[in-house]
Chain A
Amino acid sequence: QSALTQPVSVSGSPGQSITISCTGTSSDVGGYNYVSWYQQYPGKAPKLIIYDVSKRPSGVSIRFSGSKSGDTASLTISGLQVEDEAGYYCSSYTSISTWVFGGGTKLTVL
């Protein structure tokens, strides 16, 4: 199972919106509505911010939203804040009952 494809880096200014893509195949992202997103600060464990493509766990800011079209899922962060600067990873369930992650995207808030 190959890793999902994410851009290595994205950047934005405070107040702007950014979108991170996550591309898989019909055997993972495209086949199931089981895409999740995680935020990770350096030296820390990942934190769940989106599950089931577009649902937010309790306590996660409404500035984080998720969507999917075909084999590509997307994470959008609106009203960028300095504290959003972190690594972001997508994950998907697969057709062989396993889980696959993306390579990760480093978000820089300029």
Chain B
Amino acid sequence: QVQLQESGPGLVKPSQTLSLTCTVSGGSVTSGPYYWSWIRQPAGKGLEWIGRISTSGGSMYNASLRSRVTVYIDTSKNQFSLNLSSVTATDTAVYYCARRSGLLSAFDVWGQGTMVTVSS
């Protein structure tokens, strides 16, 4: 059974780049077709889809974040990662990694989430 685990700094300074990694266990990040996404949730608020990368390496991003976001796969480590540049306090949130199977139009596997605070 596939499991996802987020990792990365819990505190990032304003204007810096937020970098998170999602480690895939119980399966390969290149098997599929799967689409690997990042989703975030500010405290007490709703979910926001950030972007995704496919097993073939194609990416798509939320239009409101596109200029600051990169999602990429590291096949050697069986991981996929998120870079979000020029962060501000509004980027403070719990960040989740999630999988969408090509057979489902939904996110069927989620990581536990990691809290990231943007503060000096």
Contacts and interface: CB of A to CB of B under 8 A. Distances in A.
Counting chain B CB atoms within 10 Å of each CB, the highest count among A47, A48, A99 belongs to A99
Contact of A101 (B49, B60, B61, B108): B49
Nearest to A89: B47
Interface string B32-52: 000001010000011111001
A34 B105 contact: yes
A38 B49 CA distance: 14
A91 B98 CA distance: 14
B112 A101 contact: no
Contact of A98 (B63, B106, B111): B63
Contacts, number: 65
Contact of A46 (B47, B52, B60, B105): B47
A47 B110 contact: yes
B80 interface: no
| Dominant secondary structure of chain A at its interface with chain B | loop
Given A45-B111, A45-B112, A98-B60, A51 B49 contact: no
Interface of B: 37, 39, 45-49, 52, 60-64, 96, 104-108, 110-113
Given A45-B96, A98-B63, 5 more contacts: A36-B107, A48-B106, A48-B107, A51-B104, A99-B49
